[in-house]
Structure 1
Amino acid sequence: MTGASFRRFLVRPIAGFSVVAIASTNASLPVMAQLPNFQPPPAPRTQNVPNVNRAPTETAYTLGGGDRIRLDIFDVPEYSGEYQVLVDGTLNLPIVGSVEVEGLTIRQASDRISNLYARFVKRPVLTVSLLLPRPVKLSVAGEVTRPGSYTVPLTEGRTFPTVTQALQLAGGITQVANVRSVQIRRRGAPGSQQQFNVDLFDLLRNGDLSQDISLRDGDTIFIPTTTTLNSAENRLLADATFASQPNVPLKIIVVGEVLRPGPYTVTSGNVVQNPAGVTGPSALPGGAGNVVGDRPTVTRAIQLAGGITPSADIRRVEIRRPTRTGAEQLIAVDLWQLLQGGDLAQDAILQEGDTIAIPTATNIDPAEAPQIAAASFSPNLIRVNVVGEVARPGSVEVPPNTPLNQALLAAGGFNNRARKSRVDLIRLNPNGTVSKRTVDINLAQGINDQSNPILRNNDVVVVNRSGLASVSDTLGTILSPVGSIFTFFNFFRIFQ
């Protein structure tokens, strides 16, 4: 041991403390390696530690304008009392006058006041306690329903607001909010600012309450706009406590291949207003209203617009959504996946200002028509006018995707004066033009664009007269004056 130059010091135990043994050496590592039973310490393992942006730890409360404190100086009651921090961050105290306490903790303020009173009081023993904290003023910006400034009074028994509570005050987040990187900006030392991020999606998914930090006076919360939209995550966010309220009316626009395109104001439970002036749940097809508590979705909006037309392309529905940055996000919706696989993510939740566009299909598969017609976002009935030589001419109501043959049968079929080989189909096109075509009729033909096309709302089917009926009517018109003359002479014969 002498060659190794080891020295060992034993510290004797003292009351209230534990025994501590301290060993020191000036031997080099090769000498230590020669000692019996010596095992060198294992080399530390290198681990891949993820770069996690953690929320800040809670810091001590700092004083500011509006705080009400209690100052107690031992054995000097005339200087003790309750005082309020003024707007400029100072306390006006007896004898010492104005004391700057802005940004100081309770302990720091107590030390500063004690040093000032030491000139007048020998060994002052004083206590500073916070009676009533000032109201917390917050700023919320970005993807929230009502961005702006909010003041939270801290009355007795009320704690400091958290991030999620502040978002609730601002009306909740929008559907394009990036809750994975919520920015908190906090005032630090004079002239400086701290910024850190919290992950509210981690709070929803794993219940990490450390992400829902308590806020301080002057904090700013900024919710950035997400660059990638995930419909499944949006549904989870829509049910969060800091999401927008489901009963708030939304103004949306539905355009394209629907029966009644235009703007709508809707709530989660019913229709508030639509262009036709219809209000209440009866505005929906079949008189069915939305379930109270549900959020407006794409299919609900299409229902309010009367349902899709037979020429709608439900695979390429598009939502145009404005963001707080002024840009517009495009969300693709495939309602065919909703029908085929029950993919609820395709029935996207709407938000204020959304525009839903339903394009026109270039090719319609007749085999898919019955399934689309039975969908909840298709109209229950469409109106078709069948005029001319049928048993019951006029307007008939038929299910959507009804072919021409069935509309003729719904009007009672041809009468004995009709030309049964062909009819005229008059259609109002989406661009405002009117088209007319002649369709060869074959009642045994299935759905076929040439001889048995699918009808649209407000189509007009004209059934003309047969050739024999046309000749008969022409002769009747020609002979009608002659018959009138004979009738006139027969009248005078009565009086002869």
Structure 2
Amino acid sequence: MPRPCPGGSVSTRKGRRRTLWRPSAALLLVTVSVLHQPFLQPSASAQAVPANKSGISRAADAPTAADAYLLGPGDQLLLEIFDPVAKDLGGTVEILNDGSASLALLGSVILEGLTVNQASLWLSRLYSRYLLRSDLNLRVVRPRPIQVSVVGEVQSPGLYSLTTTEVSQTTGGPATTISGLPTVVTAIQKAGGLTLSANLDDVLLRRRLPGASGQLKEIDLDLLALLRQGDKRQNPFLFDGDTLIIGKAASLDRDVMELAAANLSPQQIKVNVIGEVVTPGSLDVKANTPLVQAILAAGGPKTFRAKHSNVELVRINRNGTATRELFQLDYNQGVSGPRNPPLRDGDTVIVNRSAYAVATDALGAVTTPLSGLVNSFAFIDIFNNNRN
């Protein structure tokens, strides 16, 4: 039985050596039989080992910068084969929607979910069946747009597609073109910015691990450290399939001023101020504007008619319900949840009437029709006197 020997030769029982003939035409004969094979799946050695039974691995202090890029549909790859006879088998390859790539000699090979290094080893192993030298180089020449989910305390939760050139705009703020790989901040800005209820040190990044098993890991992030110390480790690059979860703060006034000054929150909001103010109606104010300042922006309360101890704040929640709170108008209060809360987009402020306004309005409702009637009789009397 012939057996492979170093140097591309085969030894026989008689000790004679003959050199393997490797014409390029022989590759075409092998290709015909390979094209009838089903998709080639990575072996278990090329996949990630499950982290635990729950399918989620905790990595509170994981070095996210070292996370490997996972191949997926839309990635354009460049394959270089070093075997002189098979160099023409390389070239540009694109991963299709089903996660496979069509490769010369191999047919369709599943590459989705593998790192570039894993895919290189896997392809080298497959090519070793047909080539004497299976060394190759695989690299990404055009990465696909990534899709990430941003949920929790952001203005517009949902699924977002991010590219290397992104136009981000927080609600009411200017549009900003960002060039480079998408990060956590890019995704938050794309989702309209954080709400006032966002907990800056409770941000969770959920990421898929390499392989076809679908295992996940979770990374805790602290955006407060990013804003205060400039810790860029809290703003890692995002990968396709990442999920960003923004937690909710226990108290509404926590870190509110720090959030207001950051580019992670909306720059402008729209509120309604109605009732006993000089210019009632809809107003565009800066984000995190407190209740008292919004009333002053509407011209302030009307003298004698506004009841300072009866100011209502009506807020529509995300689930469709409405909440109503009563406040006392106090110009000496700073930004405080219980006494002078910061407003959210869509809030309605109602400055109710004082007892004086209620009395004068009631008197006016009674006397106005009578005054019209008296004026009518007076006009008739004057008309009759003129006729006489």
TM-score range, shorter chain: 0.5 to 0.7
Give a deviation string over 1:263-287, Cα, whole Å, max 9, x none.
Answer: 222212125xxxxxxxxx5677633
| One of 183, 192, 200 as aligned partner of 1:297 | 183
Q: Distance in 2 between matches of 1:432 and 1:173?
A: 40
Which letter maps to 1:215?
S
Query: Residues 244, 482 of structure 1: CA spacing in aligned structure 2 closer, same or farther, 3 A cutoff?
Result: farther
| Residue 447, structure 1, aligned to residue 335, structure 2 | yes
Query: Residues 172, 178 of structure 1: CA spacing in aligned structure 2 closer, same or farther, 3 A cutoff?
Result: closer
Secondary structure (helix, strand or coil) at the match of 2:240 reads coil
Q: Is the 8 A contact 2:80 2:87 kept in 1?
A: no
Which has the higher Rg, Structure 1 or Structure 2?
A: 1
Q: Is the 8 A contact 2:170 2:266 kept in 1?
A: no
Q: Distance in 1 between matches of 2:240 and 2:221?
A: 18
Q: Distance in 2 between matches of 1:265 and 1:189?
A: 38
| One of 188, 199, 211 as aligned partner of 1:313 | 199
Query: Residues 405, 178 of structure 1: CA spacing in aligned structure 2 closer, same or farther, 3 A cutoff?
Result: farther
Secondary structure (helix, strand or coil) at the match of 2:307 reads coil
Deviation, 1:429, is: 2.7
Number of residue-to-residue matches in the alignment: 325
Q: Distance in 2 between matches of 1:355 and 1:130?
A: 50
Deviation, 1:345, is: 1.1
| One of 153, 163, 167 as aligned partner of 1:267 | 163
**Aligned twin of 1:108:** 9
Q: Is the 8 A contact 1:172 1:242 kept in 2?
A: no
Unaligned runs of 5+ in 1: 1-99, 116-124, 191-213, 222-240, 272-280
| Residue 460, structure 1, aligned to residue 348, structure 2 | yes
Deviation, 1:328, is: 3.0
Q: Distance in 2 between matches of 1:267 and 1:151?
A: 24
Q: Distance in 2 between matches of 1:172 and 1:376?
A: 38
Deviation, 1:216, is: 5.3
TM-score (norm 2): 0.68
| One of 256, 262, 273 as aligned partner of 1:386 | 273
Query: Residues 403, 111 of structure 1: CA spacing in aligned structure 2 closer, same or farther, 3 A cutoff?
Result: same
**Aligned twin of 1:186:** 125
Which letter maps to 1:485?
L
Unaligned runs of 5+ in 2: 35-39, 48-68, 96-100, 102-108
Which letter maps to 1:186?
R
Deviation, 1:353, is: 2.2
| One of 342, 345, 369 as aligned partner of 1:481 | 369
Q: Distance in 1 between matches of 2:146 and 2:11?
A: 53
Query: Residues 102, 288 of structure 1: CA spacing in aligned structure 2 closer, same or farther, 3 A cutoff?
Result: farther
Over aligned residue pairs, what C-alpha RMSD do you find? 4.6
Q: Distance in 2 between matches of 1:338 and 1:478?
A: 63
Secondary structure (helix, strand or coil) at the match of 1:421 reads strand
Give a deviation string over 1:317-338, Cα, whole Å, max 9, x none.
Answer: 1123344412332221110111
Q: Distance in 2 between matches of 1:445 and 1:283?
A: 28
Deviation, 1:357, is: 1.5
**Aligned twin of 2:134:** 215
Q: Is the 8 A contact 1:259 1:457 kept in 2?
A: no
Which letter maps to 1:304?
K
| Residue 255, structure 1, aligned to residue 141, structure 2 | no
Q: Distance in 1 between matches of 2:164 and 2:127?
A: 43
Q: Is the 8 A contact 1:251 1:353 kept in 2?
A: yes
| Residue 146, structure 1, aligned to residue 72, structure 2 | yes
Deviation, 1:260, is: 1.6
Deviation, 1:107, is: 4.7
Q: Which has the higher contact order (CA 8 A, sep 6+)?
A: 2
**Aligned twin of 2:292:** 405
Percentage of pairs with the same residue: 34
Deviation, 1:130, is: 3.9
Query: Residues 284, 492 of structure 1: CA spacing in aligned structure 2 closer, same or farther, 3 A cutoff?
Result: closer
Query: Residues 283, 250 of structure 1: CA spacing in aligned structure 2 closer, same or farther, 3 A cutoff?
Result: farther
Q: Distance in 1 between matches of 2:87 and 2:225?
A: 49
| Residue 373, structure 1, aligned to residue 299, structure 2 | no
Query: Residues 285, 448 of structure 1: CA spacing in aligned structure 2 closer, same or farther, 3 A cutoff?
Result: closer
Structure 1 or 2: more strand by fraction: 2
Deviation, 1:427, is: 1.3
Deviation, 1:106, is: 7.0
Which letter maps to 2:204?
E
